Amino acid sequence: MVKRLARSWATTAVAAALSLFPPGRGAEASPTYPELVRDTLALGATPTCLLCHDSLQGGAGTVVTPFGRSMQGFGLVREDPGSLAQALATMRARHEDSDGDGIPDLDELALGGDPNDGPGRGAGDEPLQHGCASTPLRDPRVLDASLCALGAALVLASRRRRRA
């Protein structure tokens, strides 16, 4: 009896966790800096964290790129979208060219280039990209629905076993 209850409780807990935290939920959190940069500059794609940071995860203390340091110099601080907007406005006004390649950073971003690539990199060099598939995962809501259904199925299976 105790084992059944424990199993039922554990199954329900996992099902609840899956339902409460479906993968797509993270996408509803506050917009990140890359998304704000994309929206503010009307870019065609969201830049990765490598625009400013030394890793794909970003994080405090990892801003090392010329563009990232310029943004910090113009007042950008962590987790403050207002400071991001201010820093971008200042860069636009000053035609800042962090990597010294002759193209202002924001113009370079708008053209799909890398404001950190420096004068030594050829124009034909590809930027860093991730993934193997030919197309992105288009609708994460399908995934959310799948996991919610999975959670519900776990609960039902657990209850049926308990009744038996």
Using CB under 8 A as the binding rule, the residues of this chain from 102 to 131 that contact other proteins are 114, 116-118, 120-121, 125-126, 128-131
Residue type, 14: V
Is 37 among the residues that bind other proteins (CB under 8 A)?
Answer: no
- Of 40, 41, 62, 92, the one binding other proteins by CB under 8 A: 62
Q: Contact 127/67 with Cβ under 8 angstroms? A: no
CB atoms within 10 A of CB 29: 7
Is 11 among the residues that bind other proteins (CB under 8 A)?
Answer: yes
Stretch that binds other proteins, among 90-98, 102-110, 154-162 (CB under 8 A): 154-162
Q: What residues numbered 134-153 form the site for other proteins, per CB under 8 A? A: 134-138, 140, 143, 146-147, 150, 153
For the chain, report the end-to-end CA distance as a whole number of angstroms. Answer: 12
Minimum separation from the CB atom of position 54 to other proteins (A): 4
Is 78 among the residues that bind other proteins (CB under 8 A)?
Answer: yes
Minimum separation from the CB atom of position 90 to other proteins (A): 16
Q: Contact 10/156 with Cβ under 8 angstroms? A: no
CB atoms within 10 A of CB 25: 12
Q: Contact 156/8 with Cβ under 8 angstroms? A: no
